[in-house]
Amino acid sequence: MSPDKKLSPDDWARAALDAVAAGGVEAVSVEGLARSLCVTKGSLYWHYADRSALITAALELWERIGTIEIIERLDAIEDPAARLRALFELSIGDARNGPVDSALAARVDDPVVGPVVERVARRRVEFLERAYRDLGLGPAAAAASARIAYSTYLGHFQAAQALRDDPLLGGPAPRYMRRLLHAMVESPRSAH
Amino acid sequence: MSPDKKLSPDDWARAALDAVAAGGVEAVSVEGLARSLCVTKGSLYWHYADRSALITAALELWERIGTIEIIERLDAIEDPAARLRALFELSIGDARNGPVDSALAARVDDPVVGPVVERVARRRVEFLERAYRDLGLGPAAAAASARIAYSTYLGHFQAAQALRDDPLLGGPAPRYMRRLLHAMVESPRSAH
DNA sequence: ACCTGAACACCGTTCAAGT
DNA sequence: ACCTGAACACCGTTCAAGT
Protein backbone atom coordinates (compact mmCIF):
# COMPACT_ATOMS: atom_id res chain seq x y z
CA MET A 1 0.00 0.00 0.00
CA SER A 2 1.31 3.45 -0.84
CA PRO A 3 1.92 5.58 2.23
CA ASP A 4 0.55 9.07 2.93
CA LYS A 5 -2.94 8.23 1.67
CA LYS A 6 -6.01 8.45 3.87
CA LEU A 7 -7.82 5.16 4.02
CA SER A 8 -11.48 4.35 3.45
CA PRO A 9 -13.45 1.59 5.16
CA ASP A 10 -13.32 -0.24 1.85
CA ASP A 11 -9.51 -0.28 1.87
CA TRP A 12 -9.60 -2.11 5.18
CA ALA A 13 -12.34 -4.48 3.99
CA ARG A 14 -10.43 -5.34 0.84
CA ALA A 15 -7.24 -6.01 2.77
CA ALA A 16 -9.19 -8.18 5.20
CA LEU A 17 -10.76 -10.16 2.37
CA ASP A 18 -7.31 -10.75 0.90
CA ALA A 19 -6.24 -12.10 4.27
CA VAL A 20 -9.27 -14.38 4.42
CA ALA A 21 -8.44 -15.71 0.96
CA ALA A 22 -4.84 -16.28 1.97
CA GLY A 23 -5.32 -17.91 5.33
CA GLY A 24 -8.93 -17.99 6.47
CA VAL A 25 -10.80 -15.80 8.91
CA GLU A 26 -8.25 -16.24 11.66
CA ALA A 27 -5.63 -14.70 9.38
CA VAL A 28 -7.37 -11.35 9.75
CA SER A 29 -5.04 -9.75 12.28
CA VAL A 30 -5.49 -6.10 13.10
CA GLU A 31 -1.79 -5.51 13.57
CA GLY A 32 -0.83 -7.37 10.40
CA LEU A 33 -3.33 -5.52 8.22
CA ALA A 34 -2.35 -2.18 9.74
CA ARG A 35 1.27 -2.89 8.84
CA SER A 36 0.39 -3.79 5.25
CA LEU A 37 -1.72 -0.64 4.99
CA CYS A 38 1.09 1.48 6.45
CA VAL A 39 -0.89 2.77 9.43
CA THR A 40 -1.03 1.90 13.10
CA LYS A 41 -3.70 -0.46 14.33
CA GLY A 42 -5.55 2.35 16.06
CA SER A 43 -6.64 3.49 12.60
CA LEU A 44 -9.00 0.53 12.24
CA TYR A 45 -11.18 1.79 15.08
CA TRP A 46 -11.94 4.99 13.27
CA HIS A 47 -13.49 3.04 10.38
CA TYR A 48 -14.94 0.04 12.21
CA ALA A 49 -16.20 -0.76 15.69
CA ASP A 50 -13.87 -3.73 16.08
CA ARG A 51 -12.28 -6.71 14.33
CA SER A 52 -15.63 -8.50 14.01
CA ALA A 53 -17.16 -5.57 12.16
CA LEU A 54 -14.18 -5.57 9.81
CA ILE A 55 -14.62 -9.27 9.10
CA THR A 56 -18.31 -8.76 8.46
CA ALA A 57 -17.51 -6.02 5.96
CA ALA A 58 -14.94 -8.24 4.24
CA LEU A 59 -17.43 -11.07 3.95
CA GLU A 60 -20.11 -8.75 2.61
CA LEU A 61 -17.62 -7.77 -0.05
CA TRP A 62 -17.13 -11.46 -0.79
CA GLU A 63 -20.90 -11.89 -0.92
CA ARG A 64 -21.28 -9.04 -3.38
CA ILE A 65 -18.53 -9.87 -5.87
CA GLY A 66 -18.71 -13.65 -5.58
CA THR A 67 -22.44 -14.21 -5.48
CA ILE A 68 -24.68 -11.23 -6.10
CA GLU A 69 -22.85 -9.80 -9.10
CA ILE A 70 -22.21 -13.21 -10.63
CA ILE A 71 -25.86 -14.15 -10.36
CA GLU A 72 -26.90 -10.86 -11.91
CA ARG A 73 -24.64 -11.47 -14.86
CA LEU A 74 -25.73 -15.07 -15.31
CA ASP A 75 -29.40 -14.20 -15.11
CA ALA A 76 -28.94 -12.33 -18.38
CA ILE A 77 -28.53 -15.71 -20.10
CA GLU A 78 -31.94 -16.83 -21.29
CA ASP A 79 -31.28 -20.50 -22.02
CA PRO A 80 -31.16 -22.29 -18.64
CA ALA A 81 -28.74 -24.99 -19.81
CA ALA A 82 -26.32 -22.35 -21.08
CA ARG A 83 -26.82 -20.42 -17.83
CA LEU A 84 -25.88 -23.48 -15.76
CA ARG A 85 -22.92 -24.30 -17.95
CA ALA A 86 -21.67 -20.72 -17.59
CA LEU A 87 -21.95 -20.98 -13.81
CA PHE A 88 -20.06 -24.27 -13.74
CA GLU A 89 -17.33 -22.84 -15.93
CA LEU A 90 -16.93 -19.91 -13.56
CA SER A 91 -17.03 -22.15 -10.51
CA ILE A 92 -14.49 -24.79 -11.39
CA GLY A 93 -12.42 -22.53 -13.60
CA ASP A 94 -11.47 -20.08 -10.89
CA ALA A 95 -9.28 -21.96 -8.46
CA ARG A 96 -9.38 -19.00 -6.08
CA ASN A 97 -13.04 -18.96 -5.08
CA GLY A 98 -13.68 -22.61 -4.27
CA PRO A 99 -11.26 -22.93 -1.35
CA VAL A 100 -12.48 -19.66 0.18
CA ASP A 101 -16.07 -20.78 -0.20
CA SER A 102 -15.50 -24.10 1.49
CA ALA A 103 -13.34 -22.55 4.22
CA LEU A 104 -16.13 -20.11 5.07
CA ALA A 105 -18.90 -22.68 4.74
CA ALA A 106 -17.15 -24.70 7.43
CA ARG A 107 -17.53 -21.81 9.86
CA VAL A 108 -21.29 -21.30 9.87
CA ASP A 109 -21.29 -21.76 13.62
CA ASP A 110 -19.19 -18.62 14.05
CA PRO A 111 -21.65 -15.83 14.90
CA VAL A 112 -19.76 -13.39 12.68
CA VAL A 113 -19.35 -15.67 9.67
CA GLY A 114 -22.63 -17.58 9.92
CA PRO A 115 -25.16 -15.00 8.73
CA VAL A 116 -23.25 -14.15 5.56
CA VAL A 117 -22.57 -17.77 4.73
CA GLU A 118 -26.25 -18.60 5.15
CA ARG A 119 -27.34 -15.76 2.90
CA VAL A 120 -24.83 -16.77 0.24
CA ALA A 121 -25.87 -20.42 0.37
CA ARG A 122 -29.54 -19.54 0.06
CA ARG A 123 -28.92 -17.16 -2.84
CA ARG A 124 -26.89 -19.73 -4.72
CA VAL A 125 -29.24 -22.63 -4.18
CA GLU A 126 -32.16 -20.43 -5.14
CA PHE A 127 -30.38 -19.52 -8.37
CA LEU A 128 -29.72 -23.19 -9.14
CA GLU A 129 -33.27 -24.15 -8.29
CA ARG A 130 -34.62 -21.51 -10.64
CA ALA A 131 -32.35 -22.70 -13.44
CA TYR A 132 -33.46 -26.29 -12.99
CA ARG A 133 -37.09 -25.26 -13.03
CA ASP A 134 -36.48 -23.30 -16.24
CA LEU A 135 -34.94 -26.48 -17.56
CA GLY A 136 -38.27 -28.19 -17.10
CA LEU A 137 -37.86 -29.99 -13.78
CA GLY A 138 -40.73 -30.13 -11.32
CA PRO A 139 -40.43 -28.33 -7.96
CA ALA A 140 -39.21 -31.32 -5.98
CA ALA A 141 -36.68 -32.45 -8.57
CA ALA A 142 -35.40 -28.90 -9.06
CA ALA A 143 -34.97 -28.43 -5.33
CA ALA A 144 -33.06 -31.69 -4.99
CA SER A 145 -30.88 -31.03 -8.03
CA ALA A 146 -29.96 -27.56 -6.77
CA ARG A 147 -28.89 -28.89 -3.40
CA ILE A 148 -26.93 -31.75 -4.90
CA ALA A 149 -25.15 -29.37 -7.26
CA TYR A 150 -24.20 -27.00 -4.47
CA SER A 151 -22.99 -29.70 -2.12
CA THR A 152 -21.06 -31.29 -4.99
CA TYR A 153 -19.36 -27.97 -5.59
CA LEU A 154 -18.38 -27.47 -1.93
CA GLY A 155 -17.41 -31.09 -1.46
CA HIS A 156 -15.13 -31.12 -4.47
CA PHE A 157 -12.96 -28.29 -3.20
CA GLN A 158 -12.80 -29.73 0.28
CA ALA A 159 -11.78 -33.14 -0.99
CA ALA A 160 -9.33 -31.62 -3.46
CA GLN A 161 -7.67 -29.64 -0.69
CA ALA A 162 -7.50 -32.59 1.67
CA LEU A 163 -6.08 -34.86 -1.04
CA ARG A 164 -3.58 -32.20 -1.93
CA ASP A 165 -1.72 -33.55 -4.93
CA ASP A 166 -4.13 -36.25 -5.97
CA PRO A 167 -3.88 -36.80 -9.73
CA LEU A 168 -7.64 -37.24 -10.14
CA LEU A 169 -8.73 -34.26 -8.09
CA GLY A 170 -5.89 -31.90 -8.91
CA GLY A 171 -5.83 -29.13 -11.45
CA PRO A 172 -8.34 -26.34 -11.95
CA ALA A 173 -10.98 -28.47 -13.68
CA PRO A 174 -10.47 -32.22 -13.23
CA ARG A 175 -12.12 -34.45 -15.77
CA TYR A 176 -14.40 -36.30 -13.35
CA MET A 177 -15.79 -32.94 -12.20
CA ARG A 178 -16.49 -31.80 -15.73
CA ARG A 179 -18.36 -35.04 -16.42
CA LEU A 180 -20.33 -34.78 -13.19
CA LEU A 181 -21.39 -31.21 -13.83
CA HIS A 182 -22.11 -31.92 -17.47
CA ALA A 183 -24.44 -34.70 -16.36
CA MET A 184 -26.16 -32.31 -13.97
CA VAL A 185 -27.11 -30.07 -16.91
CA GLU A 186 -27.92 -32.66 -19.55
CA SER A 187 -29.74 -35.22 -17.40
CA PRO A 188 -30.18 -33.80 -13.92
CA ARG A 189 -32.77 -36.43 -13.02
CA SER A 190 -30.12 -39.16 -13.15
CA ALA A 191 -28.43 -37.76 -10.06
CA HIS A 192 -31.21 -38.62 -7.66
CA MET B 1 -13.97 -33.04 35.83
CA SER B 2 -13.53 -34.26 39.35
CA PRO B 3 -10.89 -32.31 41.26
CA ASP B 4 -7.85 -33.69 43.10
CA LYS B 5 -7.00 -36.13 40.34
CA LYS B 6 -3.68 -36.03 38.51
CA LEU B 7 -4.16 -35.61 34.79
CA SER B 8 -2.74 -37.61 31.90
CA PRO B 9 -1.90 -36.23 28.46
CA ASP B 10 -4.96 -38.10 27.23
CA ASP B 11 -7.25 -36.16 29.57
CA TRP B 12 -6.08 -32.96 27.96
CA ALA B 13 -6.36 -34.40 24.45
CA ARG B 14 -9.91 -35.59 25.06
CA ALA B 15 -10.95 -32.23 26.48
CA ALA B 16 -9.38 -30.51 23.48
CA LEU B 17 -11.19 -32.81 21.04
CA ASP B 18 -14.47 -32.01 22.79
CA ALA B 19 -13.71 -28.33 22.28
CA VAL B 20 -12.97 -28.92 18.59
CA ALA B 21 -16.27 -30.73 18.20
CA ALA B 22 -18.10 -27.93 19.96
CA GLY B 23 -16.55 -24.93 18.26
CA GLY B 24 -13.73 -25.81 15.90
CA VAL B 25 -9.99 -25.64 16.37
CA GLU B 26 -10.03 -22.04 17.51
CA ALA B 27 -12.23 -23.07 20.44
CA VAL B 28 -9.26 -24.88 21.95
CA SER B 29 -8.28 -22.31 24.57
CA VAL B 30 -5.66 -23.22 27.12
CA GLU B 31 -7.29 -21.21 29.86
CA GLY B 32 -10.77 -22.52 29.13
CA LEU B 33 -9.69 -26.17 29.09
CA ALA B 34 -7.64 -25.70 32.26
CA ARG B 35 -10.72 -24.33 33.98
CA SER B 36 -12.87 -27.26 32.87
CA LEU B 37 -10.16 -29.68 34.03
CA CYS B 38 -9.86 -27.89 37.38
CA VAL B 39 -6.18 -27.02 37.05
CA THR B 40 -4.27 -23.88 36.13
CA LYS B 41 -3.10 -23.41 32.59
CA GLY B 42 0.51 -24.00 33.57
CA SER B 43 -0.41 -27.68 33.91
CA LEU B 44 -0.72 -28.06 30.15
CA TYR B 45 2.97 -27.39 29.67
CA TRP B 46 3.95 -30.37 31.75
CA HIS B 47 2.08 -32.69 29.36
CA TYR B 48 2.57 -30.90 26.06
CA ALA B 49 5.06 -28.51 24.53
CA ASP B 50 2.40 -25.95 23.63
CA ARG B 51 -1.14 -25.45 22.36
CA SER B 52 -0.24 -26.72 18.89
CA ALA B 53 1.04 -30.01 20.30
CA LEU B 54 -2.21 -30.37 22.23
CA ILE B 55 -4.27 -29.79 19.10
CA THR B 56 -2.18 -32.32 17.21
CA ALA B 57 -2.82 -34.88 19.95
CA ALA B 58 -6.55 -34.14 19.89
CA LEU B 59 -6.67 -34.59 16.13
CA GLU B 60 -4.70 -37.82 16.33
CA LEU B 61 -7.36 -39.03 18.74
CA TRP B 62 -9.97 -38.01 16.19
CA GLU B 63 -8.01 -39.86 13.50
CA ARG B 64 -7.86 -43.02 15.58
CA ILE B 65 -11.46 -43.28 16.74
CA GLY B 66 -13.09 -41.75 13.66
CA THR B 67 -11.06 -43.36 10.91
CA ILE B 68 -8.60 -46.06 11.86
CA GLU B 69 -10.83 -48.02 14.23
CA ILE B 70 -13.88 -47.64 12.01
CA ILE B 71 -12.00 -48.94 9.00
CA GLU B 72 -10.67 -51.88 10.99
CA ARG B 73 -14.16 -52.82 12.03
CA LEU B 74 -15.61 -52.42 8.54
CA ASP B 75 -12.84 -54.43 6.94
CA ALA B 76 -14.20 -57.44 8.80
CA ILE B 77 -17.22 -57.36 6.49
CA GLU B 78 -16.46 -59.59 3.53
CA ASP B 79 -19.18 -58.49 1.12
CA PRO B 80 -18.06 -55.15 -0.34
CA ALA B 81 -21.60 -53.87 -0.90
CA ALA B 82 -22.52 -54.60 2.70
CA ARG B 83 -19.23 -53.01 3.78
CA LEU B 84 -20.05 -49.80 1.90
CA ARG B 85 -23.61 -49.72 3.19
CA ALA B 86 -22.32 -50.10 6.75
CA LEU B 87 -19.95 -47.18 6.22
CA PHE B 88 -22.68 -44.99 4.81
CA GLU B 89 -24.97 -45.85 7.71
CA LEU B 90 -22.26 -44.85 10.16
CA SER B 91 -21.44 -41.69 8.23
CA ILE B 92 -24.84 -40.14 7.78
CA GLY B 93 -26.34 -41.65 10.91
CA ASP B 94 -23.99 -39.95 13.32
CA ALA B 95 -24.75 -36.25 13.14
CA ARG B 96 -21.72 -35.51 15.30
CA ASN B 97 -18.89 -36.58 13.01
CA GLY B 98 -19.82 -34.94 9.73
CA PRO B 99 -19.65 -31.33 10.87
CA VAL B 100 -16.32 -31.93 12.61
CA ASP B 101 -14.96 -33.63 9.52
CA SER B 102 -15.93 -30.81 7.22
CA ALA B 103 -14.76 -28.15 9.67
CA LEU B 104 -11.33 -29.78 9.82
CA ALA B 105 -11.16 -30.48 6.10
CA ALA B 106 -11.57 -26.76 5.51
CA ARG B 107 -8.36 -26.10 7.46
CA VAL B 108 -5.87 -28.16 5.52
CA ASP B 109 -3.77 -25.06 5.03
CA ASP B 110 -3.17 -24.81 8.75
CA PRO B 111 0.25 -26.39 9.39
CA VAL B 112 -1.04 -28.08 12.55
CA VAL B 113 -4.31 -29.39 11.13
CA GLY B 114 -3.12 -30.14 7.59
CA PRO B 115 -1.05 -33.30 8.08
CA VAL B 116 -3.74 -35.15 10.05
CA VAL B 117 -6.49 -34.13 7.66
CA GLU B 118 -4.42 -35.35 4.71
CA ARG B 119 -3.73 -38.70 6.33
CA VAL B 120 -7.39 -39.15 7.21
CA ALA B 121 -8.54 -38.25 3.70
CA ARG B 122 -6.06 -40.66 2.12
CA ARG B 123 -7.03 -43.49 4.47
CA ARG B 124 -10.72 -43.01 3.79
CA VAL B 125 -10.44 -42.72 0.04
CA GLU B 126 -8.16 -45.74 -0.02
CA PHE B 127 -10.77 -47.69 1.92
CA LEU B 128 -13.50 -46.65 -0.49
CA GLU B 129 -11.34 -47.41 -3.50
CA ARG B 130 -10.66 -50.89 -2.19
CA ALA B 131 -14.35 -51.52 -1.58
CA TYR B 132 -15.20 -50.40 -5.11
CA ARG B 133 -12.54 -52.65 -6.55
CA ASP B 134 -13.91 -55.57 -4.51
CA LEU B 135 -17.25 -54.67 -6.00
CA GLY B 136 -15.82 -55.38 -9.44
CA LEU B 137 -14.93 -51.91 -10.72
CA GLY B 138 -11.76 -51.37 -12.71
CA PRO B 139 -8.94 -49.24 -11.22
CA ALA B 140 -9.96 -45.98 -12.88
CA ALA B 141 -13.66 -46.34 -12.10
CA ALA B 142 -12.94 -47.37 -8.51
CA ALA B 143 -10.64 -44.39 -8.00
CA ALA B 144 -13.22 -41.98 -9.39
CA SER B 145 -16.09 -43.52 -7.40
CA ALA B 146 -14.11 -43.33 -4.17
CA ARG B 147 -13.34 -39.66 -4.66
CA ILE B 148 -16.88 -38.81 -5.63
CA ALA B 149 -18.21 -40.63 -2.58
CA TYR B 150 -15.85 -38.81 -0.25
CA SER B 151 -16.49 -35.39 -1.68
CA THR B 152 -20.23 -36.08 -1.62
CA TYR B 153 -19.95 -36.89 2.06
CA LEU B 154 -18.01 -33.72 2.91
CA GLY B 155 -20.13 -31.55 0.67
CA HIS B 156 -23.38 -32.74 2.16
CA PHE B 157 -22.46 -31.68 5.67
CA GLN B 158 -21.13 -28.35 4.52
CA ALA B 159 -24.25 -27.60 2.53
CA ALA B 160 -26.50 -28.85 5.33
CA GLN B 161 -24.76 -26.55 7.81
CA ALA B 162 -24.89 -23.56 5.52
CA LEU B 163 -28.56 -24.12 4.72
CA ARG B 164 -29.27 -24.52 8.40
CA ASP B 165 -32.93 -25.45 8.61
CA ASP B 166 -33.50 -26.51 5.05
CA PRO B 167 -36.27 -29.12 4.89
CA LEU B 168 -34.48 -31.18 2.24
CA LEU B 169 -31.04 -31.20 3.82
CA GLY B 170 -32.06 -31.26 7.46
CA GLY B 171 -32.27 -34.23 9.77
CA PRO B 172 -29.67 -36.90 10.41
CA ALA B 173 -30.22 -38.83 7.16
CA PRO B 174 -32.16 -36.87 4.53
CA ARG B 175 -33.87 -38.88 1.85
CA TYR B 176 -31.94 -37.47 -1.10
CA MET B 177 -28.69 -38.46 0.62
CA ARG B 178 -29.88 -42.02 1.21
CA ARG B 179 -30.82 -42.32 -2.46
CA LEU B 180 -27.51 -40.89 -3.60
CA LEU B 181 -25.47 -43.23 -1.44
CA HIS B 182 -27.66 -46.16 -2.31
CA ALA B 183 -26.96 -45.47 -5.96
CA MET B 184 -23.24 -45.34 -5.24
CA VAL B 185 -23.35 -48.92 -3.99
CA GLU B 186 -25.81 -50.46 -6.43
CA SER B 187 -24.70 -48.77 -9.64
CA PRO B 188 -21.55 -46.77 -8.93
CA ARG B 189 -20.79 -46.42 -12.64
CA SER B 190 -23.83 -44.19 -13.11
CA ALA B 191 -22.22 -41.42 -11.09
CA HIS B 192 -19.51 -40.64 -13.60
C1' DA C 1 5.71 -36.56 38.95
C1' DC C 2 2.55 -33.00 38.46
C1' DC C 3 0.94 -28.55 39.50
C1' DT C 4 0.78 -23.43 41.18
C1' DG C 5 1.50 -18.54 40.74
C1' DA C 6 3.81 -14.87 39.11
C1' DA C 7 5.94 -12.90 35.21
C1' DC C 8 6.31 -11.81 30.24
C1' DA C 9 4.92 -11.37 25.17
C1' DC C 10 1.48 -10.69 21.91
C1' DC C 11 -2.47 -8.68 20.06
C1' DG C 12 -7.25 -6.61 20.27
C1' DT C 13 -9.25 -2.42 22.16
C1' DT C 14 -9.65 2.39 24.07
C1' DC C 15 -8.76 7.11 24.08
C1' DA C 16 -6.58 11.55 24.64
C1' DA C 17 -3.77 14.10 21.76
C1' DG C 18 -1.94 15.36 17.22
C1' DT C 19 -2.39 17.12 12.11
C1' DA D 1 -11.66 13.76 9.27
C1' DC D 2 -8.23 10.48 10.10
C1' DC D 3 -4.40 8.87 12.57
C1' DT D 4 -0.67 8.23 16.42
C1' DG D 5 1.08 6.46 20.70
C1' DA D 6 0.53 5.04 25.07
C1' DA D 7 -2.19 2.35 28.08
C1' DC D 8 -4.96 -1.75 29.36
C1' DA D 9 -7.06 -6.57 29.01
C1' DC D 10 -6.69 -11.13 27.52
C1' DC D 11 -4.45 -15.30 26.71
C1' DG D 12 -0.41 -18.29 25.34
C1' DT D 13 4.09 -19.35 27.31
C1' DT D 14 7.93 -19.80 30.74
C1' DC D 15 9.82 -21.08 34.98
C1' DA D 16 11.09 -21.17 39.77
C1' DA D 17 8.94 -22.94 43.61
C1' DG D 18 5.67 -26.03 45.89
C1' DT D 19 3.66 -30.89 47.18
pTM over 0.75? The answer is: yes
**Does A118 score more than 70 pLDDT?**
yes
Please give the pLDDT value at position B191. Answer: 62
Spatial neighbors of B163 by CB under 8 A, at least 6 apart, are: A118, A121, A122, A125, A147, B169
What DSSP designation does B182 have? H
Closest protein residue to C6 (Cα–C1'): B42
CA angle B167/A25/B94 to nearest 5° reads: 40
Helix H or strand E segment including B74: helix B69-74
pLDDT band for position A192 (50/70/90)? low
Closest residue on chain B to A107 (Cα): B103
What span, in angstroms and rounded, lies between the C-alpha atoms of A32 and A108? Answer: 25
Helix H or strand E segment including B124: helix B114-134
CA B183 → C1' C11, Å? 51
Considering only CB atoms, A147 lies closest to which of B144, B147, B176, namely B176
Contact B108 A154 (CB under 8 A): no
Please give the pLDDT value at position A188. Answer: 78
CB A166 within 8 A of CB A160: yes
For chain A, the average pLDDT equals 92
Please give the pLDDT value at position A151. Answer: 94
> What are the residue ranges in chain B where pLDDT is below 70?
1-4, 189-192
Closest residue on chain A to B160 (Cα): A151
Contact A150 B169 (CB under 8 A): no
**Does A91 score more than 60 pLDDT?**
yes
CA A7 → C1' D2, Å? 8
The total number of residues written for chain A in this structure: 192
Q: Give the model confidence (pLDDT) of A1-53 as tens digits.
A: 445 689 999 999 999 999 999 999 999 999 999 999 999 999 999 999 999 99
Q: Give the model confidence (pLDDT) of B4-59 as tens digits.
A: 689 999 999 999 999 999 999 999 999 999 999 999 999 999 999 999 999 999 99
Three-state DSSP class for residue B179: helix
**Does A180 score more than 90 pLDDT?**
no
Spatial neighbors of B27 by CB under 8 A, at least 6 apart, are: B19, B20
Considering only CB atoms, B162 lies closest to which of A110, A117, A143, namely A117
Q: Give the model confidence (pLDDT) of A77-86 as tens digits.
A: 999 999 999 9
Chain A residues with CB-CB distance to B121 below 8 A = 159, 162-163
Considering only CB atoms, B23 lies closest to which of A109, A122, A160, namely A109
Lowest mean pLDDT among A51-65, A173-187, B122-136: A173-187
Contact B162 A103 (CB under 8 A): no
pLDDT band for position A182 (50/70/90)? confident
Higher pLDDT, A183 or A49: A49
Please give the pLDDT value at position A126. Answer: 98
Work out the minimum CA distance from A17 to partner chain B, whole angstroms.
Answer: 17
End-to-end CA distance of chain A: 50
Q: What Å distances lie between residue B165 and A122, A142, B171, CA to CA?
A: 11, 18, 9
Contact B156 A159 (CB under 8 A): no
Interface test with B, best of A161, A184, A186 (most B CBs within 10 A): A161
What span, in angstroms and rounded, lies between the C-alpha atoms of B191 and B184? Answer: 7
What span, in angstroms and rounded, lies between the C-alpha atoms of A144 and B102? Answer: 21
Percent of chain B with pLDDT over 70: 95
Instruction: For the beta carbon of residue B159, count every other beta carbon within 10 angstroms.
Output: 26
Q: What Å distances lie between residue A34 and A24, B111, B112, B168, CA to CA?
A: 17, 24, 26, 44
Q: What is the DSSP string of A87-153?
A: HHHHHHH-TTHHHHHHHHHTTTTSTTTHHHHHHHHHHHHHHHHHHHHHTT--HHHHHHHHHHHHHHH
CA B50 from centroid of its chain's CA atoms: 24
Helix H or strand E segment including B16: helix B9-23
B117-138 in b/e form (b: 16+ CB < 10 A) is: bbbbbeebbebbbbbbbebebe
